[in-house]
């Protein structure tokens, strides 16, 4: 292990892993990419104040990226990382599901994704009124957008989920009404079809905050 002390900054480099944790930085320091970008395979930037990941351009061979507990939002942009297979974005400020389309293009080899603690992931970590049905619909939609995933959040993707995501995942997007006095979400679902059963984790109380609409009512 190589440990480098730069003033009050402690940087830990282990083999091809770089950890830069808990420094309250809003951007990835340039020197990290300049010195270690080409060699790094795993990068941990947890517990900072990151609002941008533009500095990842230097990490061309990155395979694992951990950016938990930061301030990353819906404007998150990744450079193209063709070898990235693991991405954890837990406890950020992501609420926009269209970000998944960007991830599909930027990280075509992605197999593990975790979004726990973000508004986009409807479970008890972000809202007590979400239940297991809300979470399962979210999984179907994510897997539809990112069919290469083998793990989502803390659970392995099962074969039934893959089949349901392929067949109906596109209809699982949650659309939030713009009216300020509205407290429910509108969920797009197919007109017919029975969902296959698949074991999943229970995440909270039963939610009455969704109503179902048909395609001809849109």
Instruction: Report the SS3 class of residue 199.
Output: coil
Structural tokens at position 39? 């060699």
Q: CA-to-CA distance for 208 and 210, rounded, in angstroms?
A: 6
Strand partners of residue 197: none
Q: How many domains does the chain have?
A: 1
Q: What is the pTM of this model?
A: 0.74
* Host domain of residue 125: 2-217
Higher confidence at residue 140 or residue 125? 140
Span of 74-78, 123-127, 153-157, 178-182 with lowest mean pLDDT: 178-182
Tell me the backbone φ, ψ of residue 3, rounded to 5 degrees: -115, 130
pLDDT band at residue 14 using 50, 70 and 90 as cut-offs? low
pLDDT band at residue 184 using 50, 70 and 90 as cut-offs? very low
Q: Of the candidates 130, 129, 99, which has an alpha carbon nearest to the alpha carbon of residue 113?
A: 99
CATH number at residue 29: 3.80.10.10
Q: CA-to-CA distance for 36 and 55, rounded, in angstroms?
A: 12
What pLDDT is recorded for position 174?
57
């Amino acid at each position: 292990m190589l440990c480098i002390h730069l003033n009050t900054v402690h940087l830990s480099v282990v083999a091809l892993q770089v950890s830069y944790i808990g420094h309250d930085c809003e951007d990835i320091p340039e020197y990290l990419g300049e010195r270690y970008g080409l060699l790094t395979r795993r990068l941990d930037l947890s517990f900072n104040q990151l609002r941008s990941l533009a500095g990842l351009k230097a990490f061309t061979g990155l395979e694992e990226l951990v950016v938990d507990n930061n301030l990353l939002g819906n404007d998150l942009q990744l450079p193209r990382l063709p070898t990235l297979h693991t991405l954890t974005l837990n406890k950020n400020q992501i609420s926009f599901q269209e970000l998944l389309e960007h991830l599909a293009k930027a990280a075509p080899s992605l197999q593990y994704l975790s979004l726990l603690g973000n508004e986009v992931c409807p479970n008890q970590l972000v809202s007590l009124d979400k239940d297991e049905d809300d979470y399962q619909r979210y999984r179907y939609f994510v897997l539809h957008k990112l069919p290469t995933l083998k793990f989502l959040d803390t659970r392995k993707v099962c074969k039934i989920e893959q089949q349901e995501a392929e067949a109906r995942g596109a209809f699982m997007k949650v659309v939030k009404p713009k009216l300020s006095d509205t407290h429910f979400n509108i969920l797009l679902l197919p007109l017919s079809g029975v969902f296959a059963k698949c074991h999943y984790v229970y995440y909270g109380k039963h939610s009455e905050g969704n109503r179902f609409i048909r395609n001809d009512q849109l």
